[in-house]
Structure 1
Amino acid sequence: MTTPVLEARDVTMRFGGLTAVRSVDFTVNSGEIVGLIGPNGAGKTTFFNCLTGLYVPTEGTVSYKGTVLPPKPHLVTQAGIARTFQNIRLFANMTVLENVLIGRHTRTKEGLWSALLRGPGFKKAEKASEERAMELLQFIGLAHKRDHLARNLPYGEQRKLEIARALASEPGLLLLDEPTAGMNPQETRATEELVFAIREQGIAVLVIEHDMRFIFNLCDRVAVLVQGEKLIEGTSDVVQADERVVAAYLGEPFEGAPGDAEAAEVEAAEAEAAEAEAEHSTKGEAQ
């Protein structure tokens, strides 16, 4: 029996007078791999950010295992949701192992004084974290590169490392944002196998992706966003057969579809919000 892991109800996100996401209902059940697709400007990234606490929805709620999530990314991670980003966000000058260990911070209970004094409790926790990090590196096939700097990894391996870092927080739900962007067919196939293996570990997965073949091969269900609204949701066969989905990707209008101007506004609003978030993150790191 499947139970809901993630439930988004009537989620709406406005940037000023622009509505980027409008009244979206969305569910991911335990053991599922669910895809979220849509043409550029569809509001996918905005919706993703609402799910992970980067944005506070203007209306609606996002719940994880029945509990409404707090609008703070670190608290969402602590609750049990981990994510990767479209643009890789590794710590380039840290080793592969150190990057994964950073992902463990929400699951360690040792505080500042414990770290400073480095007592038995801290050393035990540190050893357990390193053992778990090495298990994850073994899982993704990078254990032999534990001491390599992240910046020196090939692109496909950097993507894998980011997934391992997300898994280090022991999530019940993993959100992948464009996990195969920039990959060759062999790397894409390896990513597909990795996602299946993650599901086998009892972790539900939500994927945003532009590669339709990847999504339709991978997912149990696929939801389509068009101009911030959910157009259709169903199995890969159902979604692929829907004429409105084909029309949306070909740029052909269908009844009730917003035009190019609206799509451009959504893209511009998402880009502006992303720049603001990046600037905020940079300031935080500087402090």
Structure 2
Amino acid sequence: MAVEPWNKVNVPCPGAAAACRITFNSRTAAVTEAVLVHCGSVVKLLDSRVLHTEIRVLHELLYVLHNSFRQHKPFRAIKQVEQCINRLKEMKLQGAVQDMQELCPNEIQRNVGVDVGHCDVPSQPMLEWFCLKLLGASSLLCRTLDQCTKAFSLIRQHLHLSEFIILNLVLASMLSRLWVFFRGILRALVPVYQGIMDLLHEVEQCRPMAFLTEFTLPGDLAVFLGPPYSDLLKERNTAEPFGMKKTTKPSLLDRLFEEGSVEKGKKKRYR
């Protein structure tokens, strides 16, 4: 079975020219500006000091717990999370996004390009190659979110059994923060992909140089990921309507320990 071109750690970079000169107008300038803004948001998230700290904590905990917890299901699930993070690092997504930022014209170049009528932008092979990187990164991020959810569920079961309370609380909080970070990166990739597709349509009309001949890029990243992950890409409005009382819901830890106390009560009655 042939492997999808985006489902690779290292997608081969095209040997064609990285930039080309096309007809430039105000609409093209707006598209390239949006690409630069959204790429900057992705780089900011990937280069976050908090994210790197959480990943180092993950590596250190797995190293310390390797001998005593390597047979536990939560430990093996967290190892899967680590493997997804390592593969995401090997993809060099941050470097690809920064390269795209350098190829896109800055504000001065855009203003000159609008006045002159032409400007240098990323070529069609580079744009299609970057889209493959985004598809692979988004699918890997979805896999990472699934592994974080699986590991959190297993840790939750150990909390119900009152085993290693402090350690499981540390692991649960760490997985929760990693899940939030990776969901934010996944959401940030959606407007980047949409902007690249808009720029790709502009470049195809002026300088067509097809790089993907046997694969058609999806028009929407959310449709590509499928229904299970489309809800993660939606922004929820958490503001309460005016005049309505805000109801306080019990936290996750409260629900966990309440369920644990109920189970202990049942065991006592059975005894």
Structure ranking higher in strand proportion:
1
Structure ranking higher in helix proportion:
2
- Give your verdict on TM over 0.5: no
Superposition TM-score, scaled by structure 1 size: 0.25
Larger Rg: 2
Superposition TM-score, scaled by structure 2 size: 0.26
